[in-house]
């Protein structure tokens, strides 16, 4: 049987079930939009030329927007615009104009990352829908409530949320009497780092993922270095590259959990990918809602290793696959999430090469292959050029298949027995997929219902409704007459009104309430049917009339900026340390404001006790009239899941002077304490900064995405005492649920059985250019990869002081106490004006073994 026959002739049409989740498909181009619509998407999401997290996609223009929305709405499909990047101060005027265009065009919602943009949208329009992007890193009910406070109508949860956690969030929302709809990614590429918290591209090349310019460093090979020695992992080198998400097996559980929307990743993918994946999930959702009750009990969930149905697995693997896995839906399994053998598309696994005979390859097939299919030979070195080509002929030889190739298509000298063979292309399947969205005739039809009323001497009245709530009523131009033969039975009426070919509609149900045996000419029934279609299409294509205020602007949301403080004040140096030895060194250097971020929060009590001891000694021994004793702030983990309040309680039990606020749970839990907003809040513009001021934060740490010019723009629009600037650090590149320690230094699946190698080994990840990046775990077993090369903004410090900045932070990761003291001394001298930024840069470059970069502030 041809593999392409896995694609059925037409999508199944299911009656609309209120609890059925919305299917949301990606569209990076017009063809992708058509592919999504014709294969059953309920909505599509797409970007415009600016401010979207997939700047490499083709995207749409502002001028195209009205035509696209009209097309979508005519077909009963919603359109969501992605404005899901951070927006800098100098871009607010342009962002406002974008938003006015989007709202006027009748777009159904905008997907947003930036807190300030949420505030701006609600300022411009009281009713235009906002969807909180997964880039907002929402993992809890507190995060959902924060999004609602911004005016969001839907929240896209972080992809790291399991089914158990989704259910817990739903329960906690009910306890809070909130009912905000939730959306989850159900298929596509998995980012290994938490979206909105990945600074890898920014750190390594100035291409921020928070600005839509991800360079996909997670898909590159790395060596694992433990305690200074390379760990032999065989052919596993892609240590940070997860398999692609495939949530098909857990769809019943997602329906049961009440998830409102299921989202397919892929705005950089082809129209064939969009058609393929959308069709598979459309049919699966329809089957679930038609055959399973939507209230408990549902059928038992699949076992952890149950495979996708074979035709679906084939189609999804051919669409795009680095391996398919349920991601984090079933919880943490670090052995399965990342197989680490390759980081690029493979497709369908065909088998291993058994023999090479007379320019032919002999394979014992595990999946079908036919002439014309494209294949690649995998020798275990995916980083190198691989041999591949199109199959010329296939001959069965018992259980083996003999594959022939064109004479110049393949270099057989580079193929070895034992190589794995993958099918990467199925032209027949692609051809069938393209046919689903070719031409202008609708191929996917959405259901309508029709009611027929009337009696002898009265016109026939037809009332039609679609699933979106549109309703039209049409009357015949002539009265019904008594029928002596062939009256208008329900069957005859259904036959006439079901003739909806070449329209976006299909007749789901017809109700006949005609009084008596009556008749009407067929030509009149046909006219009524055509008018119903025309009127429904007309209603659908009317732009949504969202409220839009013309007399307001982003400037209304800007804070008032007071005059600059006296330049005679000596700026303050703040130091973040990650172990007790570093803390001792910082205290010895006289640092007055200290942040502690330890892997084991049990050590916080000792840290706080040490600072309080030094504080007591400072007060009792100082000869100064107003001595400045040290204060200590504790940094809780950057992510908080629904069942992790105990971690925050453990942090608070140390009785520190204050806390670094890194997520929305922290804002809620530490309310009333001394708090400082950390970089992970992604403060990139004055509207965002102004919003966080309502939480009584002492200061905000500016986003690491800003360069010096963008930082100057922010400081010129805000009171500078709101901020502290990080001027020295090892950039926290990847922050991820994936535990490299567990996956590659143990045989365990999670913290319950891994043996805690993170407590026994010092680990780095060596990249392709030889830099060893530092790996650390936190109390929640989440890993952070810190850039092995420190970054300094020393050369920009004087410009920042001139703008009124008084608070500067430096951070340490694995430096020795001696290195901490030396580095602190240099920056103290810099802030006192004893050395210049250029001198400090040269000294660091000279004395730092790995070197130092100028970091994002230099750009």
pLDDT digits (tens, 9 = 90+) for 360-379: 999 999 999 999 999 999 99
| CA contacts within 13 A on the Cβ side of 695 | 28
Backbone angles phi, psi at 432, to 5 degrees: -65, -35
Does residue 1 have a pLDDT over 70? no
Does residue 165 have a pLDDT over 80? yes
Token pair listed for 752: 């319950």
* pLDDT per position as a tens digit, 579-634: 999 999 999 999 999 999 999 889 999 999 999 999 888 766 654 445 678 999 99
Predicted pLDDT of residue 298: 34
Nearest to 317 by CA among 414, 236, 246: 246
Spell out where 152-240 has E strands.
154-156, 182-188, 223-226, 229-230
Nearest to 734 by CA among 771, 766, 774: 774
Percentage of the chain with pLDDT > 70?
A: 92
Mean pLDDT within 268-295: 88
Helix (H) or strand (E) holding 362: strand 360-363
Does residue 300 have a pLDDT over 70? no
Nearest to 108 by CA among 86, 84, 77, 132: 77
* pLDDT per position as a tens digit, 637-665: 999 999 999 999 999 999 999 999 999 99
In whole angstroms, give the CA distance from residue 56 to residue 792. Answer: 30
Token pair listed for 187: 């298929």
pLDDT band at 398 (very low <50, low <70, confident <90, very high): confident
pLDDT band at 11 (very low <50, low <70, confident <90, very high): very low
CATH number of 348-436: 2.40.30
Predicted pLDDT of residue 185: 98
**Residues near 322 by beta carbon (within 8 Å), at least 6 away in sequence:** 189, 241, 242, 243, 244, 342, 343, 344, 345, 346
More confident residue, 600 or 566: 600
Looking at every residue in the chain, the average pLDDT score rounds to: 91
Please give the angle made by the CA atoms of 852, 854 and 856, to the nearest 5 degrees: 130
Predicted pLDDT of residue 460: 97
Predicted pLDDT of residue 293: 58
Alpha-carbon distance values, 389 to 3, 370, 379, 544 (Å): 19, 13, 15, 50
Predicted pLDDT of residue 4: 39
Looking at the chain, the number of H-run helices and the number of E-run strands are: 24, 38
Percentage of the chain with pLDDT > 90?
A: 82
Mean pLDDT within 543-565: 88
Mean pLDDT within 724-735: 95
Predicted pLDDT of residue 2: 38
Mean pLDDT within 678-697: 96
Predicted pLDDT of residue 848: 57
Predicted pLDDT of residue 824: 97
Answer yes or no: are the C-beta atoms of 679 and 199 closer than 8 Å.
no
Predicted pLDDT of residue 13: 36
Predicted pLDDT of residue 847: 61
Predicted pLDDT of residue 291: 79
Residues in the chain: 859
In whole angstroms, give the CA distance from residue 675 to residue 634. Answer: 10
Residue 246 CB neighbours (<10 A): 25
pLDDT band at 56 (very low <50, low <70, confident <90, very high): low
pLDDT band at 563 (very low <50, low <70, confident <90, very high): low
| CA contacts within 13 A on the Cβ side of 119 | 19
pLDDT band at 801 (very low <50, low <70, confident <90, very high): very high
State the distance between the two ends of the chain, measured CA to CA, in whole angstroms: 58
Q: The CATH number of 570-618+626-730+789-858 is which of 3.30.379.10, 3.40.50.720, 3.40.50.300, 3.20.20.70? A: 3.20.20.70
Predicted pLDDT of residue 309: 56
pTM of the model: 0.92
Domain boundaries, the chain: 19-190+243-330, 211-241+733-788, 348-436, 446-541, 570-618+626-730+789-858
Helix (H) or strand (E) holding 448: strand 446-453
Mean pLDDT within 93-121: 97
Least confident of 680-684, 730-734, 840-844: 840-844
Going by their DSSP bridges, the two strands 22-26 and 360-363 should be labelled as unpaired
Predicted pLDDT of residue 842: 87
Domains 19-190+243-330 and 570-618+626-730+789-858 share a fold: yes
CATH class of domain segment(s) 19-190+243-330: alpha beta
Spell out where 99-204 has E strands.
109-112, 130-132, 154-156, 182-188
Highest mean pLDDT pick, 199-203, 204-208, 384-388, 670-674: 670-674
DSSP string, 235-284: T---TT-PPEEE-GGGHHHHHHTT--EEEE--TTS-HHHHHHHHHHHHHH
Predicted pLDDT of residue 101: 95
Produce one character per residue of 809-844: b if its CB has 16 or more CB atoms within 10 Å, e if not: bbbbbebebebbbbbbebbbebbeeebebeebbebb
């Amino acid at each position: 049987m041809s593999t392409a026959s896995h694609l059925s002739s037409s999508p199944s049409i299911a009656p609309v079930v209120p609890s059925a989740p919305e299917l949301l498909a990606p569209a990076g181009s017009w063809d992708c939009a058509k592919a999504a619509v014709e294969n059953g998407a309920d909505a599509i999401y797409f970007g415009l030329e600016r401010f979207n997290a997939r700047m490499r996609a083709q995207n749409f223009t502002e001028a195209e927007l009205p035509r696209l929305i009209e097309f979508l709405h005519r077909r009963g499909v919603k359109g969501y615009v992605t404005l899901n990047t951070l927006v800098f101060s100098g871009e607010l005027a342009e962002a406002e104009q974008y938003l006015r265009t989007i709202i006027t065009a009748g777009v159904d919602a905008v997907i947003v990352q930036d807190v300030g943009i949420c505030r701006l949208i609600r300022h411009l329009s009281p009713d235009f829908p906002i969807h909180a992007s997964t880039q907002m890193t929402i993992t809890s009910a507190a995060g959902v409530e924060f999004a609602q406070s911004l005016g969001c109508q839907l929240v896209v949860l972080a992809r790291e949320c399991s089914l158990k956690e989704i259910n817990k969030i739903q329960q906690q929302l009910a306890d809070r009497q909130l009912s905000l709809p939730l959306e989850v990614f159900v298929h596509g590429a998995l980012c290994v780092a938490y979206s909105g918290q990945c600074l890898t591209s920014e750190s390594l090349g100035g291409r921020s993922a928070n600005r839509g310019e991800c360079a996909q460093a997670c898909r590159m090979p790395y060596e694992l270095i433990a305690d200074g020695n390379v760990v032999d992992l065989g052919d596993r080198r892609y240590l940070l590259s997860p398999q692609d998400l495939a949530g098909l097996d857990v769809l019943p559980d997602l329906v049961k959990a009440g998830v409102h929307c299921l989202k397919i990743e892929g705005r950089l993918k082809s129209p064939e990918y969009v058609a393929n994946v959308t069709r598979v999930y459309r049919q699966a959702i329809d089957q679930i809602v038609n055959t399973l009750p939507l209230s408990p009990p549902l059928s038992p969930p699949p076992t952890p290793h149950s495979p996708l149905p074979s035709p679906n697995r084939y189609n999804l693997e051919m669409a795009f696959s680095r391996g398919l896995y349920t991601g984090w839906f079933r919880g943490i399994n670090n052995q399965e999430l990342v197989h680490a053998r390759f980081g690029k598309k493979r497709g369908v696994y065909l088998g291993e090469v058994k023999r090479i005979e007379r320019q032919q390859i002999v394979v014992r097939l595990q999946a079908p292959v036919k002439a014309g299919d494209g294949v690649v030979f995998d020798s275990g070195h995916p980083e190198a050029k691989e041999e591949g080509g199109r199959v010329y002929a296939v001959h069965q030889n018992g259980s083996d298949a003999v594959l022939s190739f064109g004479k110049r298509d393949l270099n057989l000298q580079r193929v070895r027995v034992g190589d794995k063979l993958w099918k990467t292309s199925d032209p027949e399947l692609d051809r069938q997929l393209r046919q689903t969205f070719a031409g202008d005739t609708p191929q996917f039809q959405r259901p309508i219902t029709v009611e027929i009323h009337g009696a002898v001497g009265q016109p026939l009245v037809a009332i039609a409704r679609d699933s979106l709530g549109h309703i039209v009523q049409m009357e015949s131009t002539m009265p019904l007459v008594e029928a002596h033969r062939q009256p208008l039975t329900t069957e005859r009426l259904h036959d006439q009104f079901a003739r909806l070919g070449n329209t976006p509609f299909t007749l789901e149900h017809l109700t006949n309430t005609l009084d008596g045996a009556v008749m009407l000419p067929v030509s009149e029934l046909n006219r009524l049917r055509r008018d119903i279609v025309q009127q429904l299409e007309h209603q659908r294509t009317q732009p949504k009339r969202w409220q839009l205020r013309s007399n307001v602007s982003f400037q209304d949301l800007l804070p008032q900026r007071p005059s600059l403080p006296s330049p005679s004040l000596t700026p303050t140096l703040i130091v973040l340390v990650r172990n007790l030895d570093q803390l001792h060194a910082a205290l010895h250097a006289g640092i007055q404001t200290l942040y502690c971020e330890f892997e084991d929060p049990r050590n916080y009590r000792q840290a706080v006790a040490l600072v309080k001891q030094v504080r007591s000694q400072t007060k009792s021994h100082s000869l100064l009239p107003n001595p400045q004793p040290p204060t200590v702030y504790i940094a809780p983990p950057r992510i908080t899941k629904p069942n992790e309040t105990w971690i925050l309680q453990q942090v608070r039990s140390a009785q520190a002077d204050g806390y670094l606020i890194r997520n929305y749970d922290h804002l809620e839990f530490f309310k009333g304490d001394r708090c400082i907003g950390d970089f992970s809040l992604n403060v990139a513009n004055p509207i965002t900064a102004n919003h966080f001021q309502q939480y009584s934060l002492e200061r905000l740490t500016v986003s690491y995405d800003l360069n010096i010019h963008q930082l100057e723009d922010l400081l010129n629009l805000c009171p500078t005492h709101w901020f502290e600037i990080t001027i020295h650090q090892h950039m926290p590149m990847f922050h991820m649920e994936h535990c490299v320690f567990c996956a590659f230094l143990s045989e365990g699946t999670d913290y319950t059985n891994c043996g805690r190698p993170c407590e026994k080994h010092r680990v780095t990840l060596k990249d392709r250019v030889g830099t060893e990046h530092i790996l650390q775990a936190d109390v929640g077993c989440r890993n952070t990869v810190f850039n092995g090369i420190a970054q300094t903004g020393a050369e920009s410090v004087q410009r920042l002081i001139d703008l009124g900045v008084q608070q500067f932070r430096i951070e340490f990761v694995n430096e020795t106490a001696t290195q901490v003291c030396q580095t602190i001394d240099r920056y103290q001298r810099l802030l006192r004006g004893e050395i210049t930024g250029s001198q400090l840069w040269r000294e660091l470059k000279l004395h730092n073994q790995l070197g130092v970069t100028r970091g994002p502030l230099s750009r």
